[in-house]
Structure 1
Amino acid sequence: MPSARRRIPLALLAGAWALVPAAHPLAGQEITFVAVGDIEWSRTTRAPSMFYDAPQRGGGGVPWDREDGWIRVPYAANPESRAFLEAALGTTLIGENAHHLRAHRYGLSFDDRTEEARYPLRRAADVLRAADIAFADALAWAGIDIVATANNHALDAEGEGLLDTIHHLSRAGVGHAGTGRDLEDARRPYVLERRGLRIAFLAYAQFVNDGGSSFATLEQSGVAPMDPFPIREDIARVRDQADLVLVSFHWGIENSQDVHPGMRAFAHEVLDAGADAILGHHPHVPRGIEVRDGKPIVYSMGNFIFGHGHDYWMDNIAVRLHMGPDGVTRVDVLPLAGRGDDLSRPYVLEGDAARTLLEDIRTRSAELGTTLRIEGDEGVIDIGR
């Protein structure tokens, strides 16, 4: 992974698999795929030493709004620079109620970087390793195969940090989708094969943190945008390479469990374009699951691992997709601990805590027209083929 000074919070991570020549899948053969929500294992919550805030392109005419469109000029976080930026932007950059300063911190310490990197995954690694494919943000040690790097924080360390992250993921044998050296690279699918099934992964983000400058262009590294036109093209191009196409979206309003009607319409359009499932994250809280024409839409799995927490965050979910040649046949919903210190080292919930969360997801899924039944400490959505 990148050095501490370049650490980029990633949305999802997973274990390492090589793409091999695929045989035609055997009839009735299935594999399992585990997906989890947001991961960000940077535990720093101090105020920034530099600001990168600036107006969006074309607005303001202030000194750093350059003709070439490059506006992310750093300003040292000293009183003079802060006052200048706050006056120009009409906002408060640091205050006693700032989001990052109100975070719950864990007070952890580690003897070395290996211990620190593995710590958050130790209690959940068995769930990831048991799957044929896992989708998350921790690395090959935990059984993670692929990560979605398309998220609003992808360029927090700018282009150099993004490319550094991609380089280290590749060295670790962990696939990635959703960012790249340019737009073509960011849109490129990651395709792998398990038990004769070829699965393609695509990833996109609805927004980035700098007003749009972090989206990839024909000549600039960055994030694949959640634009329906290229998404439809990408799905159509990869259908000849894969039996199933899974799409990851970093989308939606933070800290809300509601599903906006526009989000549902967008998801339906993507499924109609040929995707077999949609995996959502970013809101930091879990949402209901919808099945449309036999294809699941997981609107948000919430968090998986975070380097800090908030008292308004809650327990989260992972999903286990059972997949065959004809698509997803079943979705298992796994409740994950996510309150307080548990977010630093999540585990699968049991008993009353599991049922409380599953009841909530069952109710929210029913509102989307989907039946979820509770079996022990897991939820089950039968799709069948």
Structure 2
Amino acid sequence: MPAFRDYVVRTFLAAGLAVAAVVPQPVIGQQITIVAVGDIEWSRATKPPAMYYDAAPSGRSNVLWHRGDGWIRVPYAATQDSRDVLEAALDTTLITEDAHHLRAHHYGLSFEDGQEEARYPFHGAADLLRDADIAFANLETPLSDDARWSGAFRTPSAFADALAWAGIDVVATANNHSLDAEGEGLLDTIHHLRRAGVGHAGTGRDLADARRPWIIERGGLRVAFLAYAQFVNDGGSSFATPSQSGVVPMDPLLIREDIARVRDRVDFVAVSFHWGIENSQDVHPGMRDFAHDVLDAGADAILGHHPHVPRGIEVRDGKPVVYSMGNFIFGHGHDYWMDNIAVRLHLSAEGVTRLDVLPIAGRGDALSQPYPLEGEAARTLLEDIRARSAGLGTTLRIEGNAGVIDVSR
């Protein structure tokens, strides 16, 4: 039992006097709830694509992905005027280096101002977040207004205030898009989250800063959040080092040290992993082994992100592993994405007592304003998660529009 669960006396100086403050022991039987949701990205656009005009040896002009024979590609500014001129010259629609996102569905929304735009995606599920004692998500985009936009996403800083308005208390910022607005954007993100009163874990000014847990106290229980990424989009240079800002890598040595440092200071340690293969619901055996090692090192729950689709849930020795919740909010959608899940952890001083699986709409336009699913749509998703969880040795029962996993140590 952590020492702070007993009566703890802390001394500090106030007005030049030594004062003793007693931290009360959690009430037996008292519970709080943690609601965790999937990936959040609300840039609603991607950076302007690069456009090139090639003259091939045959004399036929074309737009190519690679260097033409005997001629270096000529770059055009990524403006609509340049695009119009090139398309007229080629008598075809340009295929750009951002083709993946151009094939995405972009909702066709318009807004009166930045605040309306930032708050819009939360209107369907804000009650779910606000009703929780702690609400947690993965923030899949940097928050910056003018940092250099070198990756897929960059979201206006007003979104930090929308996260707080919607009831989100803490986000994981360790993911493959953390450096989409480079180092300046990463630091802007940290600044705007702190300004808005939203906690963050997984990135920082250097490795030591990025490894710091975010600790929240609710109802006499202290919860620590740690966050790590398995990979970053630039191949590795976005990982934090002792002298460079960035993302905490999913290094098992660091993870064990970080858990050990915070374990006796809190009642509950939640670890967020940005991991796995995109658009796959399968759980690799190596992922399970890694998760088990982290639980054995002292983590109380693992909250998974990145695959963009939900996966099964495992409970090991009373500790849940949510391998992926899928998406929650995204500035674009794809026809191969599906409905997603949120989870509600019921937490006491003894650990998680129950886990609720909450189906969240994610098809079509739903990612622009997700909402809790009901009826047949909810049951269809829950049946799938129940079967996948059974394959991981976990029993999930369906109660109305939610799944329930009874957790016992």
Task: Give the alignment's TM-score, normalised by structure 2.
Answer: 0.78
1:164 partnered with 2:165: no
Residues 9-158 of structure 1 aligned to structure 2 (within 5 Å): 23-45=24-46, 47-49=48-50, 79-80=73-74, 95=96, 98-136=99-137, 137=139, 139-158=163-182
Give the deviation of 1:333 after TM superposition: 0.3
Match of 2:292 in 1: 268
Taking structure 1 as reference, are residues 21 and 223 closer, same or farther at Cα in structure 2, changes over 3 Å only?
farther
Deviation string, structure 1 residues 321-370 (Cα, Å, up to 9, x no partner): 00011111110000000001011000000000000000000000000000
Alignment match of 1:286 (pick from 302, 310, 314): 310
CA contact (8 A) 1:47 1:101 kept: no
Match of 1:342 in 2: 366
**RCO higher in structure (CA 8 A, sep ≥6):** 1
Match of 2:233 in 1: 209
Q: Could you tell me the percent identity over the aligned residues?
A: 79
Deviation string, structure 1 residues 71-96 (Cα, Å, up to 9, x no partner): xxxxxxx94369xxxxxxxxxxx658
Task: Give the alignment's TM-score, normalised by structure 1.
Answer: 0.82
CA contact (8 A) 2:50 2:96 kept: no
Q: Which amino acid aligns with 2:385?
A: I
Residues 185-204 of structure 1 aligned to structure 2 (within 5 Å): 185-204=209-228
Secondary structure of the corresponding residue to residue 74 of structure 2: helix
Give the deviation of 1:23 after TM superposition: 3.0
Q: Distance in 1 between matches of 2:73 and 2:116?
A: 38
Q: Distance in 1 between matches of 2:22 and 2:180?
A: 37
Q: Distance in 2 between matches of 1:280 and 1:330?
A: 18
Secondary structure of the corresponding residue to residue 332 of structure 1: strand
Give the deviation of 1:99 after TM superposition: 1.4
Secondary structure of the corresponding residue to residue 319 of structure 1: strand
Q: Distance in 2 between matches of 1:116 and 1:98?
A: 25
Give the deviation of 1:201 after TM superposition: 0.4
Match of 1:354 in 2: 378
1:223 partnered with 2:247: yes
Q: Distance in 1 between matches of 2:241 and 2:75?
A: 30
Give the deviation of 1:98 after TM superposition: 2.8
1:377 partnered with 2:397: no
Q: Distance in 2 between matches of 1:132 and 1:277?
A: 17
Q: Distance in 2 between matches of 1:217 and 1:25?
A: 38
Unaligned runs of 5+ in 1: 1-19, 52-77, 83-93
Q: Distance in 2 between matches of 1:96 and 1:239?
A: 46
1:315 partnered with 2:348: no
Q: Which amino acid aligns with 2:24?
A: A
Q: Distance in 2 between matches of 1:284 and 1:128?
A: 20
CA contact (8 A) 1:334 1:379 kept: yes
CA contact (8 A) 1:46 1:100 kept: no
Q: Distance in 2 between matches of 1:122 and 1:159?
A: 31
1:299 partnered with 2:316: no
CA contact (8 A) 2:49 2:96 kept: no
Unaligned runs of 5+ in 2: 1-20, 53-71, 77-94, 140-161
Q: Distance in 2 between matches of 1:219 and 1:96?
A: 33
Alignment match of 1:179 (pick from 182, 203, 212): 203
1:245 partnered with 2:269: yes
Q: Distance in 1 between matches of 2:97 and 2:32?
A: 49
Q: Distance in 1 between matches of 2:387 and 2:202?
A: 32
Q: Distance in 1 between matches of 2:25 and 2:250?
A: 31
Deviation string, structure 1 residues 105-130 (Cα, Å, up to 9, x no partner): 10000000000010000110000000
CA contact (8 A) 1:332 1:381 kept: yes
Match of 2:11 in 1: none
Secondary structure of the corresponding residue to residue 36 of structure 1: strand
CA contact (8 A) 1:22 1:193 kept: no
Taking structure 1 as reference, are residues 130 and 50 closer, same or farther at Cα in structure 2, changes over 3 Å only?
farther
Give the deviation of 1:102 after TM superposition: 1.0
CA contact (8 A) 1:332 1:379 kept: yes
Match of 1:91 in 2: none
Match of 1:68 in 2: none
Secondary structure of the corresponding residue to residue 374 of structure 1: strand
CA contact (8 A) 1:45 1:103 kept: no
Greater Rg over alpha carbons, structure = 2
